[in-house]
Amino acid sequence: MNYRLLGNTGLKVSEIGMGCEGFSEDGFAMTRKLFDMAEEAGVNYFDLYASNPEMRRAVGNAMKGRREKFIVQSHICSIWKNGQYLRTRNLPDVKAGLEEMMELLQTDYLDVGMIHYCDALSDWEEIVNGGVLDYARELKHQGRIRHIGLSSHNPQVALKAVESGGIEVLMFRWKLSSLNRGMLYATGQVSKHRVYLSSLWLHHVRAGQHRKRSAGPGRS
Banded pLDDT at 7 (limits 50, 70, 90): confident
Q: Is residue 199 part of a domain?
A: yes
| Residue 30 resides in a domain | yes
Domain assignment of residue 13, given as a range: 3-214
3-state secondary structure 21-77: CCCCCCCCHHHHHHHHHHHHHCCCEEEECCCCHHHHHHHHHHHCCCHHHCEEEEEEC
* 172 compared with 211, residue with greater pLDDT: 172
CA dist 75 and 77 (Å) reads 6
**How many domains is the chain partitioned into structurally?**
1
Q: Per-residue pLDDT tens for 199-210?
A: 433 333 333 333
pLDDT digits (tens, 9 = 90+) for 32-84: 999 999 999 999 999 999 999 999 999 999 999 999 999 999 999 999 999 99
C-alpha span between 54 and 60 (Å, rounded): 10
Nearest of 166, 158, 160 to residue 113 by alpha carbon? 166
Whether 133 and 166 have beta carbons less than 8 Å apart is answered as yes
Would 219 be classed as within a structural domain? no
- Residue 220, in any domain of the structure: no
Does the residue 39 lie in any domain?
yes
Residue 105 lies in a domain: yes
Q: How far apart are alpha carbons 73 and 95 in whole angstroms? A: 17
Looking up residue 152, the CATH number of its domain turns out to be 3.20.20.100
From the list 197, 220, 192, 219, the residue with the least C-alpha distance to 208 is: 192
Residue 187 has pLDDT above 50, yes or no: no
Given CA atoms 7, 8, 9, 10 in this order, what sign does their dihedral have? Answer: positive
Segment 86-96, tens digit of pLDDT: 999 999 999 99
